[in-house]
Chain A
Amino acid sequence: MRTLLRFLKPYRLQTAIVLAALAVNLAGVLLVPTILANMINIGISTGDFDYIVTQGMYMLVAAFVSGAGAFACNYFCADLSTKVGRDIRNAVYDASLAFSGGDFEQFGTGSMITRTLGDVNVIQQAITMTIQMMLPVPFAAVIGVALACSIDMQMGLMLACFVAVVAVIAVASVSKAATIFQKLQQFIDRMNVRLRESITGVRVIRAFGKEEVERKSLDEAFSSFATNAIRVNWIFATFDCSSFFIMNIAEVATIWLGGNRVGAHAMEIASISACVEYAMLILFFIMMAQISALMLPRALVCLERCRQVIDHEPSIADGACGALPARDAAGDSEGAAEKACLKAASPGVPPMSALTSRATDGAQGDVVAHFSNASFRFADADEDTLHHINFMCRRGTTTAIIGPTGSGKSTIAKMLLRFHDVTDGRVELCGLDVRDLTQEALREHISYVPQKAWLFSGTIADNLRYGAAHATDDELWHALDVAQSGFVRELPCGLASRVAQGGTNFSGGQRQRLSIARALVKRADLYIFDDSFSALDFKTDAALRHALAEEVADAAVLIIAQRINTILTADQIVVLKDGCIQGLGTHEELMRTCEAYREIARSQLRSDELEALTGAAGDAKDDEIDGRDAAMKGGE
């Protein structure tokens, strides 16, 4: 509720107008029968037609004002609910942008989409419902009872009693309904599960000749749903019918009491109908409220789900340092960075931790990324996903990580990009702990090709310029050439070709190459390729890596791979298994020393290939492409 108030706050004025309009509307609605009663009373007693015409004018005004009130109430209600809906959507989405990988996975993509779209819609509709169908109850009850009291105190009291009884029934039925619906939902779910199973499993079911068994089990799910649905509907009908009965008893009671009161000179004959009308109107509103109240528990759940997102504290907070020294000023990058950050650091934030991993300026270039005893554990896991990782990526060299699925390869990339934070140890970029940088500053220096090649709807050029808004067409074509994306030239619209959402109008391999090109357009100190060559055939893979070597010669490259061919020629290979580094070195070194690496090699290559590779390894080192080809021929 507090969440809702927070979102209503900017619209206090609208809210007030809605309430005022509602009050005006209901006052008008209830005044019409009051005035009518007056007219009839006067008509029978005095026959003063002028008075009646005046009253008729009042009635017209009341009808008009009430109509205008309803109109205004409707308009501002629609305005209010859609604006609140929009604001919640925006808040949910903006909150999600600050989430780390772990934060987001905690919710899940599907759930996040529902929270942004469906849930908000339920909330929005609940606001409309509340305003249009529930708020009238207190207004109508108060105004109605007051008007009845002004006619006759006893009538007013009796009306109040009926309102109270029906209200109690309504509350009881709503609270009962919530639990019943929950139960019914289980039967609906059951139906859905059975159906989905028999549809997705149709081949297996038919292969095993189990059609009849599945039909029976579907039948059973359908029947138990029907039985329960009938029961639920009967329970509702019971409540519904008892309200119906009470309304009619109220009418009779009003006439009875009214007759007596008229007989006692306490009120006039036509006012009986006015009182009947009040009773019917109020009870009508209560029953509308009763039906629409069924929706509120659901809306509250949705609101809570949105609140969870909005109030979720991102597990990754920006560091104080807004900038690394520019890539061009690489001369003394660490020193500059340290100064920049010391300046930027606010008093509350401890100054840069010591820059322990200063690169030794050597032939291999300065250290771009450095994992120093880094460990990582997912929030809900019992065990570390990564244990004490130590290695560095130097400028101008290629580092490869290989290991089976689930060994934590991708997590390493995500830690560099700070989608996850280390739970122990540290990760540094250009000598700075990544946690001391703002995420923006950090990511400016990294270009990343994710495992799942995701493209955005728009044109190819839009996608390629994603990391470098001002890149020229020539630069785009160059990146495409490096990424072996010659196919773009063959497209009728070239760079302006449409990309569907997710890039689904391109094949997996094409998407991967486009996403590599996108990463290349962006100039960075570190290029990360997370299993980015898996959808490419060998020839393309090799050609791409060859072209890449020149392209990113002055940056560090980190390749995460499953296929051993992709990484044979890397300057250093990190072998990862169950989150631990099992070996670190070149292919030849690892073949000699690392059992885990040999196992991977054996599982992916045939023995003769392996031999050939080991034999030709020396040559392969000299000239990677030719060496690989030689190895291939040797293999056949």
Chain B
Amino acid sequence: MTIEKTKQTAAELQDMQDDAIKQLDPTEPDPSGAPDPEPEQELEVPRDPAATLVRLWSVSVGEHWRFAVVLACIVCYTFAHIAAPAYSAHVIDLLWGNIQEAFARGEAFTIGWDTGGRELLIFVGIWTVAWVFYTIQNFTMASFAERLNLKLRRLIAEKLNRLPLKYYDAHKPGDIMSRATNDLDKVSEVLQRGLLSMLIAIGSVIGASIMMVRLNVVLALVFFAFAAASVVMTRFVAKKTLVLAAEQQRAVGVLTGHVEEAYSGRIVIKAFNQEHESSKRIHEATQRLADTMRKTDFVTNVVAPMVRCLVRFAQVVLALLGTGFLMRGQLTVGTLQAFFQYVNTAAEPLTQFSLTMNQLQSALAAVERVFGILDEPEIEPDPAEPAEVARPVRGRIAFEHVRFGYDPERPLMKDVSFVAEPGQKVAIVGATGAGKTTLINLLMRFYEIDGGRITLDGVDTHAMTRADLRRNFGMVLQDAWLREGTIAENIAYGCDGATRDEVVQAAKTAQVDFFVRTMPRGYETELANDAENISQGQRQLLTIARVLLANPAILILDEATSSVDTRTEKAIVTAMERLTQGRTSFVIAHRLSTIVDSDLILVMDHGTIIEQGTHDELLAAGGAYASLYNSQFA
């Protein structure tokens, strides 16, 4: 019996649980912004384990010596660990010899320095050596695993800046986050527990087998026969476990669906007096889940006891044979007992082997997912000799025969041209989903166009660095993103080194100064957790202040919608009016006044501009705009 098997057993049970918990936690409310756990898990298999391992090895450059230390320690530990029972056999035989001698002399026997004491001390020495290597290897592996993780996380952090917006739009934040946190935590866990105990187990099994053969070939063969049987059995059960896990997954999915639905729609359930029906539905789902869980739990947890039971049967056979050998003097007492210790050493890893394999595979699959992110295509680098716009920027934007589609095969914009003169107000209208954000994406170069060009003051934006281009734009979107930090820091986000006076001035212009002063700590108030402690409207005002301070030449604005109360809405309108003075502005319009007064109206549908002109021109044309206007802005 040794320690690593304890660790392994418990760690694996816990891992299985953690996975199970993750599966059951699809909607952990996100107080900390924890990633959405993925539903899959368990069934994952790496696509190319060898390549992934090689790559992982090359990523861990600089940490290789740690891994070498770990390996060396494992080898030394295994030697000491395997030597110990053999030495204990020697000690016991020695003691037994001394005792029999003493008894023959008719004396009682006590261990003295020369009659076994020295050997016992050496025995302590062997264990101490084992302990030292065990400890070093544990500490080093912890460092290795976490440092490797840190490296991968840093790579992800760098990669995040080079990923095109396309990637962000196609993936849920939780997907990306769980790569960087859950997946890598799993890797670290597996490196520290799974891999370590796996390596030790391999060493122990090999070492113990060799020792058993050396002690007694017949007994060793008997043990190998039982060991083979138990390997076959665990493999069978492991397969069964995967099938059951999938079944459980489905039951979890059904229950999760029902529960989410019921809680979200609880007002409807109550208003329509459907409590009883709903309760029945949930009870059925929990029953189904309990049924499959019982099977899965049982099958997963029964492997180890079954293998141990098999090993005990082996022990019975070995005991009978062994005692026989003992009586015929072919074995000593110590050797027989040492043999039994080796049986235990070699048998316990067998109970865990298939589960550990599953675990290692799933960790490799996790690493592959991380590499998957790192391998995503990146945005093209900025030109080596970027074009620059003459200062001060006037803010003339021109689309010239722009062609664009999120999927280049299916272009949305085929040939779009328009000009926004400096200081002009451009209104963008269209139904929800007509692609108003597409325009922003192109202006800001969040997406690259497929043809034609967009110019700023006559300079092709594609020839500029992204940073230079974007510096000229200010965005106020409905999804008012604020960073964790104080209100002052948020307002000064686009303008490093702004003084407090400038911040307050911007807040005043944005009509948010009064609100900020009502907060307990004023401008030093910390905005926590995606700024949930302030309302949507106030957040938008803060983003207006942020843009005001950055003082860009061109604006992109999303007007406030109905989710904001009238008073705040008025404040937003005023603040936006102040903001747009003297700047070219693109306004996603929800309000009549904006549209009617604007210098240019772009009517969007299906991701492209279908009409453009002034209000009067477009009404007179009697096209899409006219009917939209008549129906929606009544």
A44, A447, A502 pick with most chain B CB within 10 angstroms: A44
A-B contact pairs, 30 of them (CB 8 A): A60-B316, A64-B313, A70-B302, A82-B289, A117-B255, A129-B13, A192-B32, A192-B35, A193-B32, A195-B180, A196-B177, A201-B481, A202-B168, A203-B444, A207-B475, A208-B550, A233-B192, A244-B2, A252-B120, A252-B127, A256-B111, A284-B5, A287-B7, A287-B10, A404-B565, A407-B565, A443-B272, A454-B265, A456-B265, A603-B570
The reply on B262 being an interface residue by CB < 8 A is: yes
- Do B161 and A211 have beta carbons less than 8 Å apart? yes
Q: Contacts A86-B290, A219-B154, A538-B632 known; A255 to B95 CB distance under 8 Å?
A: yes
Minimum Cβ distance to chain B for residue A230 (Å): 5
| Besides A44-B333, A117-B256, A255-B120, 16 other A-B contacts (C-beta < 8 A) | A32-B315, A44-B326, A78-B298, A89-B282, A111-B29, A189-B33, A195-B176, A206-B165, A225-B150, A233-B192, A245-B131, A251-B88, A259-B95, A281-B1, A446-B271, A502-B265
The reply on B498 being an interface residue by CB < 8 A is: no
The reply on B41 being an interface residue by CB < 8 A is: no
The reply on B312 being an interface residue by CB < 8 A is: yes
The reply on A331 being an interface residue by CB < 8 A is: no
The reply on A303 being an interface residue by CB < 8 A is: no
Q: Which 9 A-B pairs have the closest CB atoms?
A: A263-B109, A110-B29, A67-B309, A280-B1, A70-B305, A291-B10, A189-B32, A233-B142, A63-B312
A599 to B265, CA, bound (A): 35
**8 Å CB interface, B1-27 against A:** 1-3, 5-7, 9-11, 13-14, 17, 20-21, 24-27
Closest residue to B137 on the A side, CB-wise? A237
Q: Number of contacting residues on B, CB 8 A?
A: 162
- Do B267 and A117 have beta carbons less than 8 Å apart? no
The reply on A125 being an interface residue by CB < 8 A is: yes
A260 to B111, CA, bound (A): 6
Against B, the Cβ 8 Å flags (1 = close, 0 = not) of A31-53 are: 01001100110011001010011
**8 Å CB interface, B123-159 against A:** 123-124, 127-128, 130-131, 134-135, 138-139, 142-143, 145-147, 149-150, 153-154, 157-158
Interface of chain A, main secondary structure? helix
A118 to B289, CA, bound (A): 13
Q: Interface segment, A143-151, A268-276, A357-365?
A: A268-276
**8 Å CB interface, A179-198 against B:** 188-189, 191-198
A98 to B275, CA, bound (A): 9
A230 to B29, CA, bound (A): 28
A222 to B154, CA, bound (A): 8
The reply on B239 being an interface residue by CB < 8 A is: no
Q: Contacts A82-B297, A128-B301, A600-B566 known; A192 to B181 CB distance under 8 Å?
A: yes
The reply on B283 being an interface residue by CB < 8 A is: yes
Against A, the Cβ 8 Å flags (1 = close, 0 = not) of B78-107 are: 000000100010011001100100100000
Chain B contacts for A32, CB-based, 8 A: 312, 315
Closest residue to A41 on the B side, CB-wise? B333
Q: Interface segment, B391-399, B416-424, B464-472?
A: B464-472
Of B143, B150, B283, the residue contacting A222 (CB under 8 A) is: B150
Chain A contacts for B294, CB-based, 8 A: 78-79, 82-83
- Do A241 and B134 have beta carbons less than 8 Å apart? yes
Minimum Cβ distance to chain B for residue A22 (Å): 11
Of B2, B173, B298, the residue contacting A200 (CB under 8 A) is: B173
Q: Contacts A195-B180, A196-B530 known; A43 to B326 CB distance under 8 Å?
A: yes
Of B99, B320, B494, the residue contacting A262 (CB under 8 A) is: B99
- Do A209 and B470 have beta carbons less than 8 Å apart? yes
Minimum Cβ distance to chain A for residue B628 (Å): 9
The reply on A139 being an interface residue by CB < 8 A is: no
- Do B9 and A288 have beta carbons less than 8 Å apart? yes
- Do B149 and A255 have beta carbons less than 8 Å apart? no
Of A64, A270, A515, the residue contacting B337 (CB under 8 A) is: A270
A294 to B562, CA, bound (A): 49
- Do A125 and B21 have beta carbons less than 8 Å apart? yes
Chain B contacts for A262, CB-based, 8 A: 95, 99, 109
Q: Interface segment, A101-109, A369-377, A390-398, A422-430?
A: A101-109
A237 to B32, CA, bound (A): 28
The reply on A116 being an interface residue by CB < 8 A is: yes
The reply on A533 being an interface residue by CB < 8 A is: no
The reply on B61 being an interface residue by CB < 8 A is: no
A81 to B634, CA, bound (A): 61
Sorting the interface of chain A by its residue count into under 10, 10 to 19, 20 to 34 or 35 or more gives 35 or more
Q: Contacts A121-B24, A195-B180, A262-B95 known; A226 to B150 CB distance under 8 Å?
A: yes
Minimum Cβ distance to chain B for residue A601 (Å): 11
A214 to B324, CA, bound (A): 74
A71 to B303, CA, bound (A): 10
The reply on A385 being an interface residue by CB < 8 A is: no
Against B, the Cβ 8 Å flags (1 = close, 0 = not) of A405-425 are: 111000000000101000000
Chain A contacts for B298, CB-based, 8 A: 74-75, 78
**8 Å CB interface, A148-204 against B:** 188-189, 191-204
Interface of chain B, main secondary structure? helix
A86 to B316, CA, bound (A): 42
The reply on A589 being an interface residue by CB < 8 A is: no
The reply on B323 being an interface residue by CB < 8 A is: yes
Minimum Cβ distance to chain B for residue A474 (Å): 21
B260, B297, B634 pick with most chain A CB within 10 angstroms: B634
The reply on B525 being an interface residue by CB < 8 A is: no
The reply on B533 being an interface residue by CB < 8 A is: no
The reply on A112 being an interface residue by CB < 8 A is: yes
- Do B27 and A199 have beta carbons less than 8 Å apart? no
A251 to B569, CA, bound (A): 77
Q: Contacts A203-B165, A287-B10 known; A248 to B25 CB distance under 8 Å?
A: no
Closest residue to B323 on the A side, CB-wise? A43
- Do B120 and A71 have beta carbons less than 8 Å apart? no
The reply on B54 being an interface residue by CB < 8 A is: no
Q: Contacts A264-B109, A288-B9 known; A108 to B29 CB distance under 8 Å?
A: yes
The reply on B259 being an interface residue by CB < 8 A is: yes
A110 to B188, CA, bound (A): 29
- Do A292 and B566 have beta carbons less than 8 Å apart? no
The reply on A592 being an interface residue by CB < 8 A is: no
Chain B contacts for A455, CB-based, 8 A: 265
Of A52, A113, A208, A295, the residue contacting B323 (CB under 8 A) is: A52
- Do A39 and B323 have beta carbons less than 8 Å apart? yes
- Do A273 and B337 have beta carbons less than 8 Å apart? yes
Chain A contacts for B562, CB-based, 8 A: 405, 534, 562
A614 to B154, CA, bound (A): 65
A484 to B503, CA, bound (A): 51
The reply on B308 being an interface residue by CB < 8 A is: yes
The reply on A322 being an interface residue by CB < 8 A is: no
- Do A252 and B265 have beta carbons less than 8 Å apart? no
- Do A192 and B34 have beta carbons less than 8 Å apart? yes
Of B160, B271, B484, the residue contacting A193 (CB under 8 A) is: B484
Closest residue to B167 on the A side, CB-wise? A202
Against A, the Cβ 8 Å flags (1 = close, 0 = not) of B557-584 are: 0000011111101100000000000000
Closest residue to B314 on the A side, CB-wise? A63
- Do A59 and B111 have beta carbons less than 8 Å apart? no
Closest residue to A294 on the B side, CB-wise? B14
Closest residue to A629 on the B side, CB-wise? B634
The reply on A548 being an interface residue by CB < 8 A is: no
The reply on B342 being an interface residue by CB < 8 A is: no
- Do A241 and B135 have beta carbons less than 8 Å apart? yes
The reply on B58 being an interface residue by CB < 8 A is: no
Chain B contacts for A225, CB-based, 8 A: 150
A225 to B336, CA, bound (A): 50
- Do A537 and B632 have beta carbons less than 8 Å apart? yes
The reply on B59 being an interface residue by CB < 8 A is: no
- Do A457 and B157 have beta carbons less than 8 Å apart? no
Chain B contacts for A292, CB-based, 8 A: 10, 13-14
Chain B contacts for A82, CB-based, 8 A: 289-291, 293-294, 297
- Do B111 and A63 have beta carbons less than 8 Å apart? no
Chain A contacts for B308, CB-based, 8 A: 29, 67, 70
- Do A404 and B92 have beta carbons less than 8 Å apart? no
